[in-house]
A = this chain, B = another copy of it.
Amino acid sequence: MTIDSDLIAQLCAPDPALPEDALDMMRLSLFDWAVCGRAGVDEPVARIVRDMVLAEGGSAQAVLFGGGTAPARGAALVNGTISHALDYDDTHFAHIGHPSVAVCPAVLAVGQSVGSSQADMLAAALIGVEASVRIGVWLGRGHYQIGFHQTATAGCFGATLAAARLLGCDLGQIGHALGLAATRASGLKVQFGTMGKPYNAGLAAANGVECALLARAGMTSRPDALSSDLGFGATHHGAGAPVGDAWLFPGVSHKFHACCHGLHAMLEALGELRTEVAPEQVARIEIETHSRWLSVCNQPAPETGLGAKFSYSMTAAMCLAGHSTAALDSFSDAACANPVLVGLRDLVRVTGDDSLAETAARVRLTLRDGTVRDGAHDLSAPMAQKVRADKLRTKAVALLGAEMAEALWRDVQRDDLRRLVG
């Protein structure tokens, strides 16, 4: 287990070779991250965290989603939390988490505070998310299954690397920063469905900024505390799974439905069937998914909009009834009480099938006349970059309106990252 020194060797050269396809994907993820952050500013958790940090005052080092400024640590906490508030940001299934919401807030906060170039911020973001994904792979499925939230745990290390890079840490300082991150990183999956989930993204980003600032100022630690005996991996049920040096971040997924990513393959499959079927024809809805999702997003009868975002049965009902699962306001307490949706919801049966990829789902509709319609989808199927970009721009327009969406798109296209947050 030498993931820490491997990552430093592979990713922390002063001028690393960054693949163009990875940089392109990073631009899309930065755009989508900013869209999610700007769309999330009115969420209650966004207001709470921003108000706390604004009340502290202090140096105007970085801009907050929703307005105002804060020191870099506070800005990272706020912007990480806000950008994950809608749970609409990118996902990497090998990472088992959301890479951008932990790393991008740290990059923007530190980059703004020290006046980094746009190219350096883009590179730091990519190096940070790549490190997060590789550490997520290294920690492995068991880390997630026992209850840790890789978004926050692996994400803290990626945020630390990105921040350390922008602060100009030398390799020794980067090692100490990662060592400090090993004692600082935290985040539990048990918070899913509460404000604690977006908070996990914010604390990962803030931890990364803090550990990098301290290491840059000379604080020392056990530089191998991620992988050592008694270190983070050993204490946190890490598998120490092999990680090569191939770039993993380009395998990231983006959300086109405003709910838990575990539901998306089902919604894509069902979305293709629903054009042929009226909701009142349906007698039974059978969903097969990898069993890992059953503890994540299988609330059988949610009563709140937030609960609906973690419910196969409710989102399947929404899809069949023609409620947009891309629009935020479809997920409401009222929808959970809507008799048509409740009726459809109660026709759903969800079963686990571990022969399916975790990115895949099968759906079977049995109609009242006995007819059966089968569908399937795998999120990992390749998607052309142009198709992805168009889908993300459409999502942005739906969330922010055309003017802001296109302004952000232009900023990202010319690597002008300063204005992403505001």
- A residues apposed to B, CB below 8 Å: 44-45, 48-49, 51-52, 55-59, 61, 71, 73-74, 146-149, 152, 179-180, 182-191, 194-196, 199-200, 203, 210, 213-214, 217-222, 225, 228-232, 234-237
Contact = CB atoms under 8 A, between A and B. Distances in A.
A213 B183 contact: no
Given A48-B214, A58-B71, A188-B230, 8 more contacts: A49-B219, A52-B214, A183-B196, A183-B199, A188-B225, A188-B232, A196-B220, A199-B214
In this complex, the member of A146, A196, A213 whose beta carbon has the largest number of chain B beta carbons within 10 angstroms is: A196
A1 to B, nearest CB: 13
Nearest to A49: B214
Give the copy number. Answer: 2
B57 A147 contact: no
A194 B187 CA distance: 24
A240 B219 CA distance: 35
A59 B71 CA distance: 12
In this complex, the member of A49, A185, A191, A225 whose beta carbon has the largest number of chain B beta carbons within 10 angstroms is: A191
Contact of A221 (B73, B194, B214, B219): B194
Nearest to A61: B56
Nearest to A153: B186
B186 A186 contact: yes
A205 to B, nearest CB: 13
16 contacts: A48-B217, A49-B214, A52-B213, A57-B57, A57-B71, A147-B230, A148-B235, A149-B183, A180-B196, A183-B188, A186-B186, A188-B231, A191-B222, A194-B222, A195-B219, A199-B221
